Chains A and B, each alone.
Chain A
């Protein structure tokens, strides 16, 4: 598949200048086509083909994430994402405050591109799913207006942040509820947590994005990430199609399951929570 890079043009912030540099160097290193956001806005037809045929790397300068929003509006097939302001924090070295790139900015852009190239040639480790779970058969339904939100009756527990967990033999599978899936609308990107990283209960397990929102996946359990759902990374629509089954997100090896359960709710209690949330919207 062809590649393209859609980047923030970054003319008003130092992070933006780095984003632009990442796009240029990234395109050179990977042979990707650069999609200019300004021209894209002005004359979308210019990039229709590139967007239809390519796996897109999206580079945002700051958390306003203009490039990400453009990508989701256009339903681009997003393969990788870079957020420069996060990379700055992670690098422990401040950027120069000038818009023209200084040595720190150039060094950061170079490092980001090196990592990008590494990532693109060796896809992120997904780990091996440990558990086989059957699709739930019986659901509770919460209705509100013309919407219906389904909640599996057995085996699933929930936190109040709309994330479910299902455990078997010390391993838990995690995903988002039907209610949250509908609230997000079409999920366009699943940014998974690192396999082998530790997570605390209510810590973050990556995020999901749609044109409407960024949703932090709030972990219902504590433990170690053993696998992420490769299929959901490649095809985030699975999260909408089958949120309790094929659209699962992460597997976690449990370390505090008995305690974790004290802060989770069952289907009936979660139904009450969904009812309340839907009514409040």
Chain B
């Protein structure tokens, strides 16, 4: 899915995806069960959950964080992300 774009910007250049706070996460797997986009991945070992496909995450979605009881998921700020997207778009159009 390398060609996927969001607002005309290659998706993998937009740093929008959840970050797991492993001090808070209880590995209840609610987030993984909820998200249909295979952003999370279950693994063996003492950290059985990881962000495997960050570029699959829907830019500006934060829905999984709303299913997380211990509040262990965080996202970048929206204004910074929008500024970044605009910057890349302007860079691309001035080329």
Contact = CB atoms under 8 A, between A and B. Distances in A.
Do A and B associate with each other? yes
Contacts of B28: 64
B78 A203 contact: yes
A63 B65 CA distance: 8
A259 to B, nearest CB: 9
A215 interface: yes
A8 to B, nearest CB: 10
Interface of B: 1, 4, 6-7, 28, 30, 34, 36, 58-63, 65-71, 78-79, 81-82, 85-86
14 contacts: A62-B70, A63-B69, A64-B69, A65-B66, A160-B59, A200-B79, A202-B82, A213-B34, A216-B62, A216-B63, A218-B61, A263-B7, A263-B86, A280-B1
B61 A63 contact: no
A214 interface: yes
Interface in A98-143: none
A216 B65 CA distance: 11
Given A63-B68, A215-B63, A281 B36 contact: yes
A170 to B, nearest CB: 22
B66 A63 contact: yes
A81 interface: no
Contacts of A161: 58-61
A280 B1 CA distance: 10
Given A64-B67, A263-B85, 12 more contacts: A62-B69, A63-B71, A65-B66, A160-B7, A161-B59, A200-B78, A200-B79, A201-B82, A202-B81, A207-B66, A214-B63, A216-B66
Contacts of A216: 61-63, 66
Contact of B60 (A13, A213, A218): A218
A224 interface: no
B78 to A, nearest CB: 5
A62 B7 CA distance: 34
Interface residues of A, number: 22
Contacts of B62: 216
Given A62-B69, A85-B71, A200-B79, A213 B63 contact: yes
Nearest to B35: A213
Closest CB pairs A-B (n = 10): A62-B69, A64-B69, A218-B60, A214-B66, A202-B78, A63-B66, A202-B60, A63-B69, A161-B60, A63-B68
A273 to B, nearest CB: 9
Contact of B30 (A64, A276, A280): A64
B54 to A, nearest CB: 16
Contacts of B70: 62
Contacts of A62: 69-70
Contacts of B81: 202
Given A161-B58, A200-B78, A202-B78, A214 B67 contact: yes
